[in-house]
Amino acid sequence: MFSHVTLGIADLTRARAFYAPLMELLGLRLRFDSDDEGWIGWQPAEGGRPLFIVTRPFNGRPPTHGNGAMVAFLAPDRAAVDAAYLHALAHGGTDVGAPGLRPHYHPDYYAAYFRDPDGNKLCTVCHTPV
């Protein structure tokens, strides 16, 4: 469905420290990392697309995040949701919703919500029953 999702960041080094371990927790692998280009991209473990990319904005202006915009990453299990949330908070992320069930979406919707150091809203979610 998606080719790629891109989020603007202000500091590539800070973004690398935040996202690289998070992507590893979620089973995604590095596809590219370029200080010269100002971007880092990950892909599914088996390769191909979709890609998740963080980058300094092309126009050189500061990145901004949208109200109501969010990227949700599929986690392999509930433990990965918990681990991703703890990683995010330990590496400059801020809490927007602790790990737990959200039965108003569906009975097995287990998710955590947080913002990255640039304010982008992220979610890790597992849809499978325990």
Per-residue pLDDT reduced to its tens digit, 64-76: 988 889 999 999 9
User: Domain holding 113: CATH number?
Assistant: 3.10.180.10
CA 37 to each of CA 7, 20, 54, 57, 117: distance values in angstroms, whole numbers, following the listed order: 15, 17, 11, 11, 20
Give me the mean pLDDT over the 103-112 stretch: 97
Q: Is residue 64 part of a domain?
A: no
**For residue 25, what are the domain limits?**
4-57+69-126
Alpha helices in 56-124 (DSSP H): 78-90
Report if residue 38 sits inside a domain.
Answer: yes
Evaluate whether residue 62 is within a structural domain: no
Total domains present in the chain: 1
Contact 119, 104 (CB under 8 A): no
- Residue 67 is predicted with a pLDDT of 84
* Percentage of residues in the chain having pLDDT higher than 90: 93
